[in-house]
């Protein structure tokens, strides 16, 4: 029986490269995969899933009006892969669950669990509530000399940590770092920044 999987991790935990590897493995076996990505995340181009190691694939863009279930109902596939599910609406996650339950197609969702305020995203909360299986993709704290597991996302602007404000501001290493709880609440910004004032990494 097909399942709805949620694989979450902090930033730089290799979520996208794992998704792209799964897609490659399906295609190597002559099977079809359908990829989806949120419209809000256009860091690598709209409708593009890319890893920081340079591998990329095209994907269907999901915006507020997209009905993923209807797309898949008329376009059979062997597996559905979702990138950055935290940016999806709860209704989109429900549509993914229907794809599993009614079309018997496995769905693997990848994304963050919490934002820089340590709050759930709408999509990640729905994924936790409805997934059949939840798996953590682990990475370590970005703070130099710390080997603890990263469990938080630290946002820094103008050299200072930010703990409140708008939930979504799409960015990468220039804005966010994955850190442990200690360095979330007590960050050493100087050690996380390089000589030009940008995050290491």
CATH of domain 4-137: 3.40.50.300
How many Å apart are CA 134 and CA 23, to the nearest integer?
A: 19
Per-residue pLDDT of the chain (201 residues; tens, 9 = 90+): 899 999 999 988 888 889 999 999 999 999 999 999 998 865 655 766 777 666 778 788 999 999 999 999 988 899 999 999 999 999 999 999 999 999 999 999 999 999 999 999 999 999 999 999 999 999 999 888 899 999 999 998 888 888 988 887 766 567 888 999 999 999 988 777 653 344 444
Token representation of residue 59 = 């994907």
Distances (CA, A) of 178 to 7, 63, 78, 109: 16, 27, 33, 20
Q: Specify the pairing of strand 107-111 against strand 4-9.
A: parallel
How many Å apart are CA 162 and CA 55, to the nearest integer?
A: 31
Contact 172, 198 (CB under 8 A): no
Each domain of the chain, given as residue ranges in start order, spans: 4-137, 152-192
So which residues are the catalytic ones? 84
The reported pTM is 0.87
Q: What is the DSSP letter of 85?
A: G
pLDDT, residue 25, reads 94
How many Å apart are CA 194 and CA 201, to the nearest integer?
A: 9
How many Å apart are CA 89 and CA 107, to the nearest integer?
A: 16
User: Where does the chain have alpha helices with state H?
Assistant: 15-28, 68-73, 90-103, 122-130, 181-185, 189-192
Strands (E), 101-182: 107-111, 133-137, 152-157, 160-162, 176-179
Q: What is the DSSP letter of 116?
A: T
pLDDT, residue 198, reads 45
- Please count the residues of the chain: 201
């Amino acid at each position: 029986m097909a399942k709805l999987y949620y694989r979450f991790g902090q930033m730089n935990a290799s979520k996208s490269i794992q998704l792209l590897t799964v897609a490659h493995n399906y295609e190597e076996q002559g099977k079809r995969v359908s990829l989806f990505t949120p419209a809000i995340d256009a860091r690598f181009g709209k409708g593009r899933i890319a890893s920081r190691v340079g591998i990329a694939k095209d994907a269907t863009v999901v915006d507020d009006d997209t009905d993923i279930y209807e797309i898949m109902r008329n376009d059979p596939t062997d597996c559905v892969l979702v990138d950055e599910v935290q940016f999806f609406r709860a209704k989109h996650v429900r549509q993914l669950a229907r794809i599993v339950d009614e079309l018997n197609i496995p769905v693997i969702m990848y994304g963050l669990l919490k934002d820089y305020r340590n709050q759930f995203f709408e999509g990640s909360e729905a994924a936790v509530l409805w997934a059949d299986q939840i798996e953590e993709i682990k990475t370590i704290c970005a703070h130099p000399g710390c080997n603890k597991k990263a469990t938080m996302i630290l946002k820094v602007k103008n050299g200072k940590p930010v703990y409140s404000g708008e939930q979504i501001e799409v960015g990468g290493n220039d804005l966010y770092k994955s850190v442990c709880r200690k360095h979330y609440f007590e960050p050493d910004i100087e050690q996380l920044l390089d000589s030009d004032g940008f995050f290491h990494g």
